[in-house]
């Protein structure tokens, strides 16, 4: 037993070292690598990815997984190792069933498809992307068909990004959301739009970086266990235990963008920074539960960061670092960060209409994978759903179906995680307030780190040991429900918009 | 033939990919990695270094090198490949002779010794470092003894950092330097010190970074083929062809530090950025000729960057970016960047006294490796030489023998390269002026890139295809001599100090 386990741990460590090289290369490509070095770095990335893939599908690794799965040995493993063996065996078996040639073809086609999507988006021309989307749909269907031949393709996809989740559950809670949101949005629309011109101006980017660092420290990001860099799109990446990094991007005329991206990515990073060190080199360290991950980033960004009380202790500092804010009255600022109105682009949407952007994508994905909707009918379907859900119709596909990258590389089934994250966040809020009392005074008194500590203790430390459903059950003692998020929305926006 | 060559190239590429990972990890550790991730990253670095070492000492690689060295095959290789086989075989044979246990012990002891040096330097206490220095001297002697059992240890060390160089040549040209420098320094001392208080003040670090980028572009650094980051000590690192990076550090009260470090590291980077792409994945791409490398960085920093004419076209921009310079008259600035006076610390020394700092270290190294000077007598010997060469005596070992890291990790024989670099630079200057005319009008008219282009064409493109001695011979048509550097010093400082 001990010998197999030691050998297994050695193998895991080696896998992690290759993965660390792959992460670092990816990080570098997105934050630092100059244009002329990209080709060589992509080649090296390909080399190390292949070495890493070989390790995770080697016969030796498979034999160790089989051995450690034997009930009498499995029972002796600690919970981190049990998860590692269970997930490892599942993935090993899945990958074994995918023909090597098909896999290479799928990866290459994804990369090309992504490039074509970029081009089509730039040109605002769906017809350029349509044949590639068509190919990605059929290849993705084939890919998951190899991995899990007995199961419905879309269920497998959902499970890939949010283990343990299924469309029956999502249908139930997304319907709940839809029903609750439509009347809320009518009320908000009736209340009229605030005047936000006081925020217009030029905001120095070096100063925006200082604001970002101040806010990250304020919410509990550990600069000794992470770093921040600049990239085209903000993201968070765990390089290894003790090194969880985020990026940001800065707009000279829209300082709220970097501010809320910082808090959002900070939420992702704080999650991974606080995983218990006992899980180092186990599967629990890798949080592939996208809904749970989003629950933390969206909780920090929206439920904490857009609460006016969050800003009471730091609004003065914000004005010191970015003097333009000294002329923006506090209540105008609070209206600006809670400005709810229908818009076309998901990534720029407010926290309320955002939910409908996700429901739209979820319904589209079901139409694709369940109803086999023809690819060339998808733009029209998108626009119809947009009109139905948000009352606005895109003038072109760039602000419609072409806006997101996800489908271009085959990440079907990913979108629902965003809204699931918000919904879990609503449930966690509910539970925090039961245990710690109302957020408002905690935030107003500058004690946000007490909330961070609660999340660390209840959620972060376990990494992905429990899937999202299990985590919600453990933390809140009940099944997933959209009701807490809806009630948070109604209370908050009722106060802001006065209804 | 073709089959062996293809296999050999495949092997080289694999070696480069591991080296690229090692470089990137090192880069990351020095520029970005947070404290808590260091341990894990060092472990991964160790893993990839070992894999890389295995590839460069594998029997398969050795057999290919032997095969390609056969005269009839060797003759068919292009010059980049010939160099790769020649250097590869030499290093392969050297490493084969080093016992594995000894090598591991040497590497580990180096790392520990470096740590102890840091501690001793902080404490200003040589006795903490003395036993480690003693061990590093004897182990380094043993190490090169394994590699080249027939040769004098110090000659092997000199050749490691500056291939083809020997102590007879260095003795000759360093004596030439010493003889020429001592009267020059007396004249400068007699002329009195300038008043530089106009430069005192606080210089914004973000603005210093903008100045750095402006200067790097100005001298020809290609931001599409490189990047700049911040680190404790400035350095340059080639990650791969098309990605040559430098770092800088910034002092709020001393803006000249970052300015001249930028130009210095820029010189290193411009060298590697302009190596001909035909040498990718050959030994010529790796410029281990430290003297030749320093000749470029020191040429840009001193011979170009400290020439008043260099600043004429950009002094206005400097004042726009760092407004404090608007109140510094141009001639005061030019005096400040050419302030020559004896000082204790090599890395802060001006270009003239710097030469004597290196001669001191070279004489110390000969005393250690040739005369077997006892380690505990070395601090006194250092101080005596300092007094002899520069007329000042360190008050403690932190500003004496403990100041440099090089000896702590066994890099004996490295120091002479710095002065050799300046000497080659003087010769290149001489040759440029023969071919292009005086530097002064070229710089004053903002045509510095014509000089960069000359260096690209004559030196940079070949990488390390020719060693320094060969490069000097090819470019200048004569043997290495200190005379051009001395005559540059005498002319320049005669004008500045009026003698």
Percent of all residues in chain B with a pLDDT value above 70, rounded to a whole number:
100
Residue B239 φ then ψ, to 5°: -85, -45
Q: A242 contacts in B (CB within 8 Å)? A: 34-40
A241 to chain B, minimum CA–CA distance in Å? 6
Residue of B nearest to A39 (CA): B242
Where b means 16+ CB within 10 Å and e means fewer, B153-192 reads bbbbbbbbbbbebebebbeebbebbeebbeebbeebeeee
> Whose structure tokens read 């739209």?
A360
Q: What is the pLDDT of residue B1?
A: 64
Give the largest Cα separation in chain B, rounded: 69
Residue of A nearest to B35 (CA): A224
Question: ipTM score of the complex?
Answer: 0.90
- Above 90 in pLDDT, residue B199? yes
d(C-alpha A314, C-alpha B229), whole Å: 30
SS3 label, residue B94: helix
Bridge partners, residue A228, by sequence: A246
A73 to chain B, minimum CA–CA distance in Å? 29
SS3 label, residue B354: helix
- Asked whether the beta carbons of residue A37 and residue B239 sit closer than 8 angstroms, the reply is yes
Q: For B151, which DSSP code?
A: S
Bridge partners, residue A226, by sequence: A244
Is B494 exposed, middle or buried, given 0-12, 13-18 or 19+ CB atoms closer than 10 A? middle
Of the candidates A47, A225, A239, the beta carbon closest to that of B17 is on: A47
- Asked whether the beta carbons of residue B242 and residue A20 sit closer than 8 angstroms, the reply is no
| DSSP codes joined into one string, B5-70 | HHHHHHHHHHHHHHHHHHHHHHHHHHHT--GGGHHHHHHHHHHHHHHHHHHHT-HHHHHHHHHHHS
Number of Cβ pairs < 8 A linking chain A and chain B: 109
d(C-alpha B355, C-alpha B344), whole Å: 13
Q: Which residues contact A217 (CB under 8 A, 6 or more apart)?
A: A223
Where b means 16+ CB within 10 Å and e means fewer, B278-292 reads ebbbbbbbbbebbbb
- How many CB atoms lie under 10 A from the CB of residue A269? 28
Q: B25 contacts in A (CB within 8 Å)? A: 21, 24
d(C-alpha B173, C-alpha A194), whole Å: 78
Cα separation of the two ends of chain B: 65
Residue B117 φ then ψ, to 5°: -60, -45
B307-343 pLDDT, tens digit each: 999 999 999 999 999 999 999 999 999 999 999 999 9
Q: What is the pLDDT of residue B137?
A: 98
Interface of B with A in 387-406 (CB under 8 A): none
> Whose structure tokens read 């970016």?
B321
- Asked whether the beta carbons of residue B37 and residue A243 sit closer than 8 angstroms, the reply is yes
A373-422 pLDDT, tens digit each: 999 999 999 999 999 999 999 999 999 999 999 999 999 999 999 999 99
| DSSP codes joined into one string, B321-352 | HSGGGGGS-HHHHHHHTT-----S-GGG--HH
Bridge partners, residue A201, by sequence: none
**Looking at the complex, does the CB of residue A207 fall below 8 Å from at least one CB of chain B?**
no
**A202 belongs to an annotated ligand binding site:** no
Establish whether B265 is a catalytic residue. Answer: yes
Q: For B194, which DSSP code?
A: P
Q: What is the pLDDT of residue B447?
A: 98
- Please report the domains of chain B, with CATH numbers, ordered by start residue: 1-97 (no CATH), 113-499 (1.10.1370.30)
d(C-alpha B202, C-alpha B216), whole Å: 23
d(C-alpha A431, C-alpha B391), whole Å: 74
Q: What is the pLDDT of residue A192?
A: 79
Is A312 exposed, middle or buried, given 0-12, 13-18 or 19+ CB atoms closer than 10 A? middle
Q: Which residues contact B201 (CB under 8 A, 6 or more apart)?
A: B253, B324
Q: Please compute Rg for chain B using Cα positions.
A: 23
**Looking at the complex, does the CB of residue A44 fall below 8 Å from at least one CB of chain B?**
yes
**Looking at the complex, does the CB of residue B32 fall below 8 Å from at least one CB of chain A?**
yes
Q: Which residues contact A295 (CB under 8 A, 6 or more apart)?
A: A420, A421, A422, A423, A424, A425, A428, A468
B127 falls in which pLDDT band (50, 70, 90)? very high
Bridge partners, residue A246, by sequence: A228, A236
Q: What is the pLDDT of residue B107?
A: 87
Q: B21 contacts in A (CB within 8 Å)? A: 21, 24-25, 44, 48
Residue A226 φ then ψ, to 5°: -175, 180
**Looking at the complex, does the CB of residue B47 fall below 8 Å from at least one CB of chain A?**
yes
Residues B232 and B214 sit within 8 Å (Cβ to Cβ): no
- Strand B236-240 and strand B243-248: the pairing is antiparallel
Residues A382 and A129 sit within 8 Å (Cβ to Cβ): no
d(C-alpha B241, C-alpha A40), whole Å: 8
Residues A115 and A391 sit within 8 Å (Cβ to Cβ): no
Q: A33 contacts in B (CB within 8 Å)? A: 227, 243
- Asked whether the beta carbons of residue A225 and residue B37 sit closer than 8 angstroms, the reply is yes
User: Low-confidence residues of chain A, pLDDT below 70?
Assistant: 1
Distance (Å) of CA A250 to CA A234, A257, A345, A375, A440:
10, 7, 18, 36, 29
Q: Which two tokens stand for residue B383?
A: 């101080």
| Helix (H), strand (E), coil (C) string for chain A | CHHHHHHHHHHHHHHHHHHHHHHHHHHHHHHCCCHHHHHHHHHHHHHHHHHHHHHHCCHHHHHHHHHHHCHHHHCCCCHHHHHHHHHHHHHHHHHHHCCHHHHHHHHHHHHHHHHHHHHHHHHCCHHHHHHHHHHHHHHHHHHHHHHCCCCCHHHHHHHHHCCCCCHHHHHHHHHHHHHHHHHHHHHHHHHCCCCCHHHCCCCCHHHHHHHHHHHHHHHCCCHHHEEEEECCCCCEEEEECCEEEEEECCCCCCHHHHHHHHHHHHHHHHHHHCCCHHHCCCHHHCCCCHHHHHHHHHHHHHHHCCCHHHHCCCHHHHHHHCHHHHHCCHHHHHHHCCCCCCCCCHHHCCHHHHHHHHHHHHHHHHHHHCCCCCHHHHHHHHHHHHHHHHCCCCCCHHHCCCCCCHHHHCCCCCCHHHHHHHHHHHHHHHHHHHHHCCHHHHHHCCCHHHHHHHHHHHCHHHCCCCCHHHHHHHHHCCCCCCHHHHHHHHHHHHHHHCC
- Asked whether the beta carbons of residue B35 and residue A225 sit closer than 8 angstroms, the reply is yes
Q: What is the pLDDT of residue A128?
A: 96
A184-203 pLDDT, tens digit each: 999 998 987 788 899 999 99
Helix H or strand E encompassing B182? helix B167-191
Q: What is the pLDDT of residue A1?
A: 64
């Amino acid at each position: 037993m001990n010998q197999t386990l030691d050998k297994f741990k050695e193998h895991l460590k080696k896998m992690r070292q290759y993965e660390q090289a792959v992460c670092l290369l990816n990080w570098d490509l997105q934050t630092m690598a100059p244009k002329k070095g990209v080709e060589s770095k992509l080649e090296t990335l390909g080399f190390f990815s292949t070495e890493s893939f070989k390790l995770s599908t080697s016969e030796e690794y498979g034999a160790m997984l089989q051995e450690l799965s034997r009930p009498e040995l499995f029972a002796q493993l600690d919970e981190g190792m049990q998860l590692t063996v269970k997930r490892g065996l599942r993935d090993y078996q899945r990958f074994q069933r995918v023909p090597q040639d098909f896999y290479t073809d799928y990866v290459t086609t994804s990369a090309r498809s992504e490039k074509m999507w970029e081009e089509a988006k730039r040109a605002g021309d769906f017809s350029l992307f349509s044949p590639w989307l068509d190919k990605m749909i059929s290849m993705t269907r084939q890919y998951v068909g190899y991995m899990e031949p007995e199961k419905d393709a879309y269920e497998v996809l959902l499970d890939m990004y949010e283990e343990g989740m299924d469309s029956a559950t999502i249908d139930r809670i997304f319907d709940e959301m839809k029903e609750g949101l439509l009347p809320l949005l009518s009320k908000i629309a009736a209340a009229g739009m605030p005047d936000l011109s006081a925020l217009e101006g030029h905001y120095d980017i070096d100063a925006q970086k200082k604001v970002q660092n101040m806010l990250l420290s304020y919410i509990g990001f550990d600069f000794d266990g992470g770093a921040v860099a600049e990239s085209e799109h903000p993201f968070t990446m765990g390089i290894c235990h003790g090194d969880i990094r985020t990026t940001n991007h800065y707009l000279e005329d829209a300082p709220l963008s970097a501010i809320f991206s910082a808090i959002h990515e900070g939420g992702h990073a704080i999650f991974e920074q606080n995983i218990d060190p006992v899980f180092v080199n186990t599967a629990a360290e890798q949080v592939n539960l996208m809904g749970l991950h989003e629950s933390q980033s969206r909780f920090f960004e929206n439920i904490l960061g857009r609460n006016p009380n969050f800003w009471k202790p730091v609004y003065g500092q914000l004005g010191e670092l970015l003097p333009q804010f000294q002329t923006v009255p506090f209540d105008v600022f609070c209206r600006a960060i809670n400005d709810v109105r229908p818009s076309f682009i998901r990534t720029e949407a407010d926290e309320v209409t955002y939910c409908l952007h996700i429901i739209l994508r979820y319904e589209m994905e079901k139409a694709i994978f369940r109803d086999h909707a023809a690819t060339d009918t998808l733009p029209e379907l998108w626009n119809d759903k947009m009109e139905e859900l948000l009352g606005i119709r895109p003038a072109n596909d760039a602000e419609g179906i072409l806006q997101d990258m996800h489908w271009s590389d085959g990440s079907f089934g990913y979108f629902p995680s965003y809204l699931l994250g918000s919904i879990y966040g609503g449930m966690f809020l509910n539970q925090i307030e039961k245990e710690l009392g109302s957020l408002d005074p905690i935030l107003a008194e500058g004690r946000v780190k007490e909330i961070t500590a609660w999340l660390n203790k209840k959620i972060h430390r376990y990494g992905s040991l429990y899937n999202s459903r299990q985590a919600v059950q453990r933390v809140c003692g009940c099944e997933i429900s959209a009701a807490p998020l809806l009630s948070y929305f109604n209370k908050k926006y009722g106060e802001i918009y006065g209804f």
